[in-house]
Structure formats: structure tokens, C-alpha cells
């Protein structure tokens, strides 16, 4: 049984089809790559799954539960996390506080207990802080924990975005172009980190343009063009797929 089942997904903006008749399964512990030229609908896909807007048609099932069209905060409660293309962070908070904020959905003790200074609740919060630090160490940002998020260089901000997503203890992680703006060294580092995340039992859907990252990481690749799925398969198959090559050759950028 697939962890994530997308059935006949359609998203129209006015008359424009951003996603058309998309069917997709994502299985536990895999890294699925989602590639395609700009405007193919990849970020729209993420937005629909995470409840930024509902699909026009179709359904999204997560762990056999219908999450179609639910609000973002509800979907977060299902343990689906994402990062954003533009670094979306709590800019005025420190790196550590950013990650701690991500724990919001993970506390077992009720909120009012936190307010009443009940020890068990406050203990949980201290534990959250420690876990946040662990995540930062895991992703290599621990030395910057007290730095203001706004002061971080761009590449670090992206990794911080992933850290925050990790803090929610997700089962499914949607990574939206995490390698954008990174130099080769940073990208290699990112690849290693993403592998580690998957090894920790988190399923990942990766949207990326950087082919090095995609080839290195993904078990399977799904290719979108103009909102439609035009190919799906193993990385080697995809690079040889004629339709895929044509879709990319039609654009200016040099991908392969």
C-alpha cells in the first residue's frame, strides 16, 4: 500500500491547467524525484498536497486517509512537512528558536499545562530544545544556533528551512528545490544530508533542477511537463526517455 496516493489530480487556475490528470503513488522510505521544466506544475503539486489551495478535481490519500482539500495546519498534523523555494523562516528569531518553533505539533502535554508552569509540560519544552539542537547538529548548523536567521547566508537558510520541517517529525517530507543557489560543494553536502534523512525513515519527494542531486538521490523519478506526467521510472530510464529529452530541449536551460 502506498503512503501517498494521488488519484486523478487536477488543478485549474481559471482556464489554465496547472496539473492535469495526475496519478502517482509514493511508497514508504523512498525518495521520489519530481522533475520537469519550469512551470510544469511541481510547486503547484506541493501546494495542493499541503493545503495551500484545494485541487479542482481528484483526491489525495495519505496513509489511507483522505486529506484532499484540508487546510494546511490540518495536513501538518498528518505529519507531512515541506520546505519552501524562497527561504521561509522566522527571520527575527535565532536559528535554534526557528527549529524549536517547528515542534509545535509534537508536544504530548496539553498547552494549558505549559501555561500553568506544570513541570511535565515545561520539561517537554526543554526536551524539544535539546532535540532541536540535535537536528541542527545532524544538518550541520549547530555552530550557528544563536545566529539570527536573517543573517545567515542563503545556502544555510535553505538548510534551516529543512531543519524546521524536520522538527515537525514528519513521515513525508516535501523538498522544493533545496539546492537552488548552492555551489557544487554545498550541493554535495545537501545530497549527503538528504540521504541521512531518508535513512532515518522519512519518505521524501524531491523537486529539483540539479541533476546531480536527482540522480544521486532518487529511487524513482517522475517527470512533469505542462502539468501532466510524461514519464515515470528509474533514473537511468528517464535520462534515455525521448519525450523527456524533448521537453527539456524545448527550453533554454542546459540540464543534461
Point out which residues bind other proteins (CB under 8 A): 50, 71-73, 76-77, 81-82, 84, 88-93, 100-102, 104-105, 107, 111, 114-117, 121, 125, 164-165, 167-168
Q: 157 or 187, CB closer to other proteins?
A: 157
Residue 31's beta-bridge partner residues?
Answer: 204
Q: 14 or 250, CB closer to other proteins?
A: 14
At closest approach, how far in Å is the CB of 190 from other proteins? 20
Neighbour count for residue 136 (Cβ, 10 Å): 23
At closest approach, how far in Å is the CB of 117 from other proteins? 6
CA–CA distance, 51 with 82 (Å, rounded to integer): 11
At closest approach, how far in Å is the CB of 102 from other proteins? 5
Q: 122 or 195, CB closer to other proteins?
A: 122
CA–CA distance, 109 with 96 (Å, rounded to integer): 22
Q: 47 or 216, CB closer to other proteins?
A: 47
36, with CB counted inside 10 A (0-12, 13-18, 19+), is buried
Q: 89 or 238, CB closer to other proteins?
A: 89
Q: In what order do the strands lie in the sheet with 65-66?
A: 16-26, 4-13, 57-62, 65-66
Q: 34 or 160, CB closer to other proteins?
A: 160
At closest approach, how far in Å is the CB of 101 from other proteins? 5
Cell matching residue 158: 535553505
Q: 115 or 256, CB closer to other proteins?
A: 115
Of 65, 53, 64, 73, the C-alpha closest to 9 is 53
At closest approach, how far in Å is the CB of 49 from other proteins? 11
At closest approach, how far in Å is the CB of 104 from other proteins? 5
At closest approach, how far in Å is the CB of 112 from other proteins? 8
Q: No. of H helices and E strands in the chain?
A: 10, 10
- Greatest CA separation found in the chain? 63
What CA–CA distances, in Å, run from 18 to 13, 40, 203? 7, 7, 25
35, with CB counted inside 10 A (0-12, 13-18, 19+), is buried
Amino acid at each position: 500500500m502506498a503512503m501517498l496516493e494521488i488519484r486523478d489530480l487536477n488543478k485549474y487556475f481559471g482556464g489554465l491547467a496547472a496539473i492535469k490528470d495526475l496519478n502517482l503513488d509514493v511508497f514508504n522510505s523512498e525518495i521520489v524525484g519530481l522533475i520537469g521544466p519550469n512551470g510544469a506544475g511541481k510547486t503547484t503539486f506541493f501546494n495542493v498536497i499541503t493545503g495551500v489551495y484545494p485541487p479542482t478535481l481528484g483526491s489525495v490519500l495519505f496513509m489511507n486517509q483522505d486529506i484532499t482539500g484540508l487546510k494546511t495546519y490540518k495536513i501538518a498534523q498528518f505529519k507531512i512537512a515541506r520546505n519552501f523555494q524562497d527561504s521561509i523562516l522566522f527571520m527575527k528569531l535565532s536559528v535554534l528558536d526557528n527549529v524549536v518553533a517547528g515542534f509545535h505539533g509534537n508536544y504530548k502535554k496539553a498547552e494549558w499545562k505549559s501555561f500553568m508552569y506544570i513541570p511535565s509540560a515545561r520539561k517537554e519544552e526543554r526536551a524539544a530544545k535539546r532535540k532541536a539542537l540535535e537536528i541542527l547538529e545532524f544538518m550541520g548548523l549547530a555552530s550557528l544556533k544563536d545566529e539570527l536567521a536573517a543573517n545567515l547566508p542563503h545556502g544555510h537558510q535553505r538548510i534551516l528551512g529543512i531543519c524546521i520541517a524536520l522538527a515537525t517529525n514528519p513521515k513525508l517530507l516535501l523538498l522544493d528545490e533545496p539546492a537552488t543557489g548552492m555551489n557544487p560543494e554545498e550541493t554535495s553536502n545537501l545530497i549527503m544530508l538528504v540521504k541521512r534523512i531518508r535513512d532515518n525513515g522519512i519518505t521524501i519527494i524531491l523537486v529539483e533542477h540539479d541533476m546531480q542531486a536527482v540522480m544521486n538521490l532518487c529511487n524513482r523519478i517522475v517527470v512533469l511537463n505542462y502539468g501532466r506526467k510524461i514519464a515515470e521510472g528509474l533514473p537511468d530510464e528517464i535520462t534515455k526517455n525521448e519525450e523527456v529529452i524533448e521537453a527539456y530541449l524545448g527550453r533554454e536551460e542546459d540540464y543534461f
